[in-house]
Amino acid sequence: MQPASGTPEGSLLYPLAFLLSVALNLNVLLFLFNLLPLPPLDGSGIVQGLMPGLFGGLIEGLRRNPVMSLLGLMIAWQVFDVVYRPAFDVLLRLLHPDMAYG
């Protein structure tokens, strides 16, 4: 069944708009996920760089431990819903300030 020609799904540009929407979501998701300060993610390197000395060495030890990396990913998976939705709402308001999002 084909979508009606007057609907957004019936537009010739709909596949491009859908592709760009998926790309935007994926980029925001990866950006935020990598900034979480948990051992296997890039955010832990940021924390390590900000904390020189003994604390930085402790974080480096945690990053090299595979069990801590798995634990960090499990925690990130649980925390991510709390972080992603508000950040994506802010991005949508920046891109489309006149739209209402619920």
- How far apart (Å, rounded) are the C-alpha atoms in residues 80 and 33? 7
17 part of a folded domain:
no
23 part of a folded domain:
no
Residue 87: which residues within 8 A CB-CB, separation 6 or more? 28, 32
- How far apart (Å, rounded) are the C-alpha atoms in residues 4 and 6? 6
Walking along the chain (102 residues) 10 residues at a time, the average pLDDT comes out as 60 86 88 81 78 77 81 84 86 81 62
Burial of 76 per CB tally in 10 Å (0-12, 13-18, 19+): buried
The structural domain count of the chain equals 1
45 part of a folded domain:
yes
pTM of this structure: 0.63
Domain range for 49: 34-96
